[in-house]
Amino acid sequence: MTPTGRADRFRALHHGPGPLLLPNPWDAGSAVLFERLGFQALATTSSGHALSLGLPDGAVPRDQALAGVDAIVRATSLPVTADLESGFGTDAAALADTYAGAAVSGLAGASIEDATGDPARPLFELDEAADRVHAAAEAAHGRNPAFVVTARAEGYLHGRRDLADVIARLQAYQQAGADVLYAPGLSDAGEIRSVVTSVDRPVNVLFGMSGLTVAELAELGVARISIGGSFAFAAYGAAALAAREFLEHGTNSSAALARAGHEAMGWS
């Protein structure tokens, strides 16, 4: 599929009969696995990619992050949207450079969040955050193909559990040019419904935070559901359990799980 075809396909998947389910690969191998399992599109995970490099989330430099994204795009025929954190830039020119560079890899989309990375000031002020979304959207939409920009309101992940503020931010990001809106950390059906009904763009929800099923989220009007770094950490958790058993008990009960992974990749 051409880059234009991927971008067009990804945009259309947000308007299907049910929510678009996005697993979050952290490297080329996990991208191939999720494609083989039947997913229709993929979203990278900054935390999962950082984990694969032995780093904490937020510690991967832009060029290394973009290289990881490029490896995933090249490994799969599916549309891919990238977790580009806060855009790896403080001004409009730097943000435009990040999103223009991301487009070169053939991405179908990318996200931008309003977290600063500074514990003393965890979120950008609303006007500045909206301007940053506008800069990212201009860069993304000025490419051929124009890829999908997801704007993220990060307040719930940084101790600011203010639904009115989240909605005001998402509405501003919509006006700034975002194609998809996302507030990770929402955990209540009423909150999710309020967000969905307050904006005119598809809404992404982070799966597992609310305990709601895919069917229940669909009933709330959610257009897209992603998993974040959960699968990456689950994979490392399984490896840790198997390694600890090997080290401490001299046994290996993970052989069946290893065979399942081998088969899932289609290797005989």
Range of the domain at 259: 230-268
**Spatial distance between the Cα atoms of 36 and 121, rounded to a whole number of angstroms:** 42
- The verdict on 183 and 266 lying in the same domain is no
Give the per-residue pLDDT at 268: 60
Residue 179 in tokens: 């194609």
Kindly report the length of the chain.
268
Q: Give the residue from 75, 74, 64 showing the smallest Cα distance to 84.
A: 64
Residues of the chain above pLDDT 90, percent: 85
* pTM strictly above 0.85: yes
Residues of the chain above pLDDT 70, percent: 99
Distances (CA, A) of 235 to 4, 183, 211, 230, 240: 33, 25, 21, 9, 9
Can you give the CATH number for the domain in which 18 is found? Answer: 3.20.20.60
- The verdict on 149 and 46 lying in the same domain is yes
DSSP letter (8 states) at residue 147:
P
Give the per-residue pLDDT at 250: 97
Distances (CA, A) of 193 to 97, 182, 190: 35, 13, 5
The CB density around residue 19, as the number of other CB atoms within 10 Å, is 24
Give the per-residue pLDDT at 102: 84
Look-up: residue for tokens 């005989």? 268
- The verdict on 241 and 109 lying in the same domain is no
Q: What is the tally of structural domains in the chain?
A: 2
Beta strand 115-118 with 121-123 is antiparallel
Mean pLDDT of the chain: 94
Mean pLDDT comparison of 101-115, 229-243, 249-263, highest-scoring range: 229-243
- Mean pLDDT check: name the lowest of 12-26, 27-41, 102-116, 194-208: 102-116
pLDDT-derived band at 142, boundaries 50, 70, 90? confident
- The verdict on 161 and 259 lying in the same domain is no
- The verdict on 136 and 266 lying in the same domain is no
The predicted-structure confidence for 79-115, as pLDDT tens digits, reads as follows 999 999 999 998 888 998 998 888 778 999 999 999 9
Give the per-residue pLDDT at 164: 98
Q: Is the pLDDT of residue 145 over 90?
A: no
Instruction: Report the pLDDT averaged over residues 19-43.
Output: 98
